[in-house]
Amino acid sequence: MPANDAGGRFRYRSWREGPDPLAPPFDVRAVVDELGDSLMTGSSLRDALDRLRHSGTRDTPGIDELHRRIARQRRELSRRGDLTGALSSARAALDQALAAERETLAGADDDEARLAEMTLDALPDTVAAAMRELQDYAWRNPEAAAAFRAISEQMRDQLLDQQFGGLKQALQSQDPAALRRIKDMMADLNQLLADHARGTDTPEQFEEFMDRHGDFFPEQPRDVDELIDQLAKRQAAAERLLRSLSREQRAELEDLMQQAIGTDPDLASELAQLQDNLTALRPGMMRGQGFNVDGDQPLDYGEAAGVMGELADLEDLETQLSQQYPGATLDDIDVENVERQLGADAARDLRALRDLERELERQGYLRRTAEGLSLSPKALRRLGQSALKRIFADLNAHGAGGHDDRRTGAADERTGAFLPWEFGGEQPIDAVRTVTNAVLRRAAGDGPGTLPTSLTLGVGPPLRLEVEDFVIAETERRTTAAVALCVDLSFSMVMEDRWLPMKQTALALTHLIGTRFRQDALEIIGFDRTARVLSAMELAEVEPEWVKGTNLQHALMLATRHLRRHPEAEPVILVITDGEPTASLQDGFPVFSWPPTPQIIADTVTEVDAVARLGATLNIFRLGEDPGLARFVDAMAKRAGGRVFAPSTDRLGEYVVSDYLRARRGRHRRAG
In this prediction, residues 483-500 reach a mean pLDDT of 87
Q: Where are the alpha helices (DSSP H) in 165-220?
A: 168-172, 176-198, 203-213
Q: What is the pLDDT of residue 476?
A: 54
Q: What is the pLDDT of residue 545?
A: 80
For the chain, the average pLDDT equals 82
Range with the poorest average pLDDT among 111-115, 414-418, 623-627: 414-418
Q: Is the pLDDT assigned to residue 401 strictly greater than 60?
A: no
59-103 pLDDT, tens digit each = 788 888 888 998 998 898 888 888 888 899 999 999 999 999 999
DSSP string, 595-618: SPPHHHHHHHHHHHHHHHHHT-EE
- 353 φ, ψ (degrees, to nearest 5): -65, -40
Task: Provide the CA 200 distance to its chain's centre, in angstroms.
Answer: 44
181: left (phi over 0), alpha (psi -120 to 50) or beta: alpha
Three-state secondary structure call for residue 525? strand
pLDDT-above-90 percentage for the chain = 24
Three-state SS string over 344-379 comes to HHHHHHHHHHHHHHHHHHHCCCEEEECCEEEECHHH
Domain ranges, ordered by start, for the chain: 2-80+316-349, 85-292, 413-478, 481-663
CATH level 2 (architecture), domain 481-663: 3-Layer(aba) Sandwich (3.40)
CB count within 10 Å of CB 46 equals 10
CB count within 10 Å of CB 372 equals 10
- 52 φ, ψ (degrees, to nearest 5): -65, -40
CB 618 within 8 A of CB 640: yes
Q: Is the pLDDT assigned to residue 428 strictly greater than 70?
A: yes
Give the integer Cα–Cα distance in Å for 282 and 345.
32
Give the integer Cα–Cα distance in Å for 342 and 71.
11
**Residue 484: its H or E element:** strand 481-488
Report the Cα–Cα distance between both ends of the chain, in Å, rounded: 68
Q: Is the pLDDT assigned to residue 260 strictly greater than 80?
A: yes
Cis check for the bond before 298: say yes or no (omega within 30 of 0): no
- 141 φ, ψ (degrees, to nearest 5): -95, 115
Inter-helix orientation angle 344-362/45-55, to 10°: 150
Closest Cα to residue 59, out of 15, 21, 23?
23
Q: What is the pLDDT of residue 396?
A: 46
Range with the poorest average pLDDT among 53-67, 397-411, 429-443, 600-614: 397-411
